[in-house]
Structure 1
């Protein structure tokens, strides 16, 4: 009988699943171009390989779950940055660029290559699209006449900044250039 490390079985299972997701994320951070296997993820999480199969049917299932887990975490970081900012629009841009500089986007990019079917899933597409909603709301509150269009334009700067950072430009260079354009 496996040892239960939580007050309830439900909490134990949630903690085990969380440990596997965190381990997969950590391994992908180290080598985003090489997807870890379930055994490797289980070992990193301190679990038996067979335990991983209680939570995920395959490596692809695990990687899809990592993608699904990353979007809300990314969004939470953006919303948190915007909440206390004097300029929530700039906070949105800067937080996104910082997440890219921290390597989070590289993981998503690698996962898009490794599990392209995940990114065609309507729930994942909806999560991705919702990342811009805090920016649209900040623009609306500022009185911008077409906040959705303006958000698309600002996101084009974020996407270009992403490409520049991932191709080797420094975060400071990109931040300065984007700030100049937005000013």
Structure 2
């Protein structure tokens, strides 16, 4: 029987899961998904080679659980920041800043890298987490347009364009933010 290193079994599972996620993220930073084995993930998490299977049946299960964990953490922080702001333009500022800064500490950029190697079911499960982030942007755009702060004739197109602008990491954040807000805001709310 495995040794429990926490007050409860649930706490132990949470600790093991965090170590597995940290190991997985570290390995993904060094190599491709195909080049990672469950044994390597287990070793990085301080688990025995076979004990990882008590927590995850395979690498796909690790990816899906990792995506869920990362998205929940990311959305929790983003929503906490958004809840403190009422003005639609300032809320979009918060979203953009959060995407540009906090996005670097999360590992949500793995999606495109994994599409070709995961099963369709796993891709769909990971996609559901991306949709949760997209829903926040959709709500910001719709409520901003309803308030008259934004001019958004096509919400879907605006979402794609905003996320495309947020993707390059070599452009200074303040330029990205200014560009997006100038594109979205109505003339009377447009920043200089």
Common fold by TM > 0.5: yes
Give the length in aligned residue pairs.
Answer: 178
Q: TM-score, normalised by structure 2?
A: 0.72
Asked if the contact 2:67–2:108 (Cα under 8 Å) also holds between the matched residues in 1, the reply is no
**1:101 to 1:2, Cα distance in 2 relative to 1, 3 A:** closer
134-143 or 81-90, which deviates more = 134-143
Q: 1:25-78: CA deviations, max 9, x gaps?
A: 2322x2363453211111221111111111112222222222232222232232
Q: Name the CA distance, whole Å, in 1 between partners of 2:43 and 2:105.
A: 25
Quick check: which has more Rg, 1 or 2? Answer: 2
Q: Which residue does the alignment assign to 1:160? A: 164
Q: With structure 1 as the length reference, what TM-score do the two structures score?
A: 0.75
- Change in Cα spacing, 1:159 to 1:100, as seen in structure 2 (3 Å) is same
2:94 is matched with which residue?
91
RMSD (CA atoms): 3.2
Q: CA deviation at 1:91?
A: 0.9
Instruction: Tell me the residue number matched to 2:30.
Output: 31
Deviations 1:105-161 (A, max 9, x none): 43233233432521224xx44433222333444456557179997653442233212
